[in-house]
Amino acid sequence: MHPQPAPTRPRGSRRGLDDVERAVAGYVEWYGTRRLHGELGMVPPVEFQAQFEITASAEVTAAWVLLHTLRETRALTGEPPSPLARTPTGTDGGGAGLRSPSMTVVTT
């Protein structure tokens, strides 16, 4: 997809509010989707967003697979869960979730 240049102004005056609204909507659409964006490596925003979503989705999937593989491996080998594993509500003094082995729980 090759970005299109910015819409040009038609010669002559606008005939009414509808013409102005169409012109502004066309420019906004071009500016937000097809223009080359310097901060994005001279890539149109829609192309950058599509690539970002593909990359982010792949990273999330890889992290999920790694997490579940580690959990299964620990379960099969009998290795205790990670020190930062979630604990059941109430067993860490506050029932908040993540717990570090060096954390001292103070209850009042």
Q: pLDDT tens across 30-62, in order?
A: 998 889 998 889 999 999 999 999 999 999 899
Distance CA 14, CA 33 (A): 25
Which of the pair, 56 or 107, is modelled with greater confidence?
A: 56
- Look at residue 44 in the predicted model and tell me its pLDDT: 92
Cβ count within 10 A of residue 61? 10
Task: Kindly tell me if the per-residue pLDDT of 100 is higher than 60.
Answer: no
For 14, phi then psi, to 5°, come to: -75, 145
- Look at residue 83 in the predicted model and tell me its pLDDT: 61
Predicted TM-score (pTM) of the model is 0.46
pLDDT in tens, 75-97: 888 777 666 655 555 454 444 44
Number of H-type helices and E-type strands within the chain: 2, 0
Q: Any idea what the Cα angle at residue 50 is, between residues 47 and 55, rounded to 5°?
A: 125
